[in-house]
Amino acid sequence: MNIRVPETTASSIGRDSQPTRIGLIVPSSNTTMETELPELFRRQTEATGQLYTFHSARAGMKNVTREELDAMVGKAADCAKAVSDADVEVIAYACLVAVMAQGTGAHRHSEQIIAQAAENNGHPAGVVSSAGALVRTLTALKAKKVTMVTPYMRPLTQMVRDYIASEGFDVLDAVALEVPDNLAVGRLNPANLPEIARELENNGADAIILSACVQMPSLASIQRVEDELGLPVISAATATTFEILSKLGHTPAIKGAGRLLSGDVKPAL
């Protein structure tokens, strides 16, 4: 029996002809980043023709407690090694509060650990953390004073508030929805967010963080709140998307997700 080898083989197909591969490290109970990010990138594809695929590694975390958050952070390097096996171009570490719970400036250390793990595995990649993306995006928006909504219990919400403040921002007001179960956070209705946003003390604010959590759905309400209140509105998911595109050198062209992803905002240096 003859076996024919085609002239164009897998080894001869260049990486440029393939979709851009994006790696995600998410909590095991996360249900939102793997829905909101693909939807955002679908809109990017619709506008630009550039294709993207997502490849995830999961770290155990069911309840948003300090103990489980610390345990998840300890698994970051192993997750980065696993997801880098897919030869992804960017790895997004998608658990904002787990990183911020490690102390001031922790996103920088976490990003270094993940980048080193991928490089040591023979597949170097750009690295974004949702925690780092959030604060750097506020800089890109030239925002100094912000308000925010979180699903966390009040102590964790205060911790996130302090972390953002340590990066040079003034958090004028914060709402804590106090939902400790991470699956329950993913079931929160984003249609409730416009009313919650109206109740924030937004006078003097430069931007609104409508979801300071990668698990709390918000995409469906971001444009609505931005149009109604006249302030830039971001979320952990849109900030992460902005930085992934920046790492790839792709200009955002996403409709219906706020000014940040419209293409008008330049990445922070």
Q: Mind telling me the catalytic residues? A: 95, 213
127 annotated as belonging to a binding site for a ligand: no
96 is in an annotated binding site: yes
Task: For residue 97, say whether it is annotated as part of any ligand binding site.
Answer: yes
Helix 219-229 vs helix 33-48: crossing angle, to nearest 10: 70
SS3 call for 176? strand
Q: DSSP letter for 204, please.
A: T
214 annotated as belonging to a binding site for a ligand: yes
Residue 215 in marked binding region? yes
Cβ distance 235 to 137 under 8 Å?
A: no
CA distances from 259 to 108, 137, 183, 246, 267 (A): 26, 12, 29, 15, 13
HEC per residue, 77-144: HHHHHHHHCCCCCEEEECCHHHHHCCCCCHHHHHHHHHHHHHHHCCCCCEEEEHHHHHHHHHHHCCCC
Is residue 183 annotated as involved in ligand binding? no
Is 185 marked as binding a ligand? no
Whether residue 192 is annotated as binding a ligand: the answer is no
Q: How many CB atoms lie within 10 A of CB 210?
A: 29
Sheet of 170-176: strand order equals 170-176, 145-150, 207-211, 233-235
For Cα atoms 106, 109, 115, give the angle at the middle one, nearest 5 degrees. 140
For residue 147, give the nearest of 126, 122, 176, 125 by alpha carbon: 176
The length of the chain in residues reads: 269
CA-nearest of 226, 240, 200 to 90 is: 240
Of the candidates 145, 140, 177, the residue with the CA atom closest to the CA atom of residue 265:
140
Which residues belong to the annotated binding site for substrate?
30, 95-97, 152, 182, 214-215
Which residues belong to the annotated binding site?
30, 95-97, 152, 182, 214-215
